[in-house]
Amino acid sequence: MPGPSPLILLVHCADRPGLVAAVTSFLARRGGNILHLDQHVDLEANVFFMRLEFDPSGLDSDADGFAEAFGKEIAKPHAMTWRLYDRRERPRLAILVSKYGHCLYDLLARVRGGELRAEVPVVISNHSDLEPVARGFGVRFAHIPNTPATRAEAEARMLAELEGEGVRTVVLARYMQVLSAGFTDRYPQRVINIHHSFLPAFAGGRPYHQAHARGVKLIGATSHYVTPDLDQGPIIEQDIARVTHRDAVADLIRKGRDLERVVLARAVWLHLERRVLAYHNKTVVFA
């Protein structure tokens, strides 16, 4: 029989001497065995970050008892923001998409292949074009038209779908609609977008056309957490590809879509593996 699932502890707080020792000594006293430990200090902001993965098979209590003791003995005295996760947990994830299917195909294939540790109970779209793709992967498809005139009603229906399916994370796989603050506030740092540009350059719509007009030599893609400010949320992952004067807009779009698939998949993987800590509109990523 397999042993208990490894646990992941994420911590951030104001930096001070002895934080690593406090956490690791507590873990040793309770019988845990460290498997991986990453830590970082933002010297300008004076913020300490830690991701600690450990084997709980020797703990003197279950995970709930460990969490309760950690909160009282370590987190509270040090004013820590912290979360404890089960390594084998498969969060329920919804994908929002419009008409472009390249990221949707890629994510569903990675979930089916076990690369992304998640369950996808529903794909939601403001168009019906990609319903056969979702159905082909055995995922329910919800068509919810979304226009400026019907946005409030559409978002209410979308939220009902997400809550009904117990969704914890939302991925915008080229969902070409702006979400309201009321929507994104329901899923803080749990709505992941792919923007077809190397942000902060060329935010908003038609970035490949903007890049072509400027004669850029590099194009990129950016995955970030969604906030009420359009394309301004904390960045999780980025990548670039080289282009030349010979490339037309169609070439930039073709090359860019390859980047979009990979960058979004990396960002979702990092999020699901609990390797991202967001603060001050940026992130620490323990890759």
218: β partners: 242
212, 248 contact by CB (below 8 A): yes
284 bridge partner residues? 277
Q: Which of 231, 239, 247, 258 is catalytic?
A: 231
DSSP 8-state assignment for residue 71: I
| Residue 55 a catalytic site member | no
CB 276 within 8 A of CB 285: yes
Which residue is listed with tokens 């329920």?
Answer: 92
In three-state form (DSSP H/G/I as H, E/B as E, the rest C), the secondary structure along 171-229 is EECCCCCCCCHHHHCCCCCCEEEEECCCCCCCCCCCHHHHHHHHCCCEEEEEEEECCCC
**Number of CB atoms found within 10 A of residue 237's CB:** 24
Please state whether beta strands 191-195 and 169-172 pair in parallel, antiparallel, or not at all (unpaired).
Answer: parallel
Q: Shortest CA distance to 197 belongs to which of 152, 255, 273?
A: 255
26, amino acid identity = F
Residue 213 neighbours by CB distance under 10 Å: 11
The angle subtended at Cα 198 by Cα 42 and Cα 253, nearest 5°, is: 160
Neighbours of 164 (CB within 10 A): 10
Instruction: Report whether 31 contacts 59 (CB < 8 A).
Output: yes
Q: How many CA atoms lie within 13 A of 183 on its CB side?
A: 24
Active site amino acids: 231
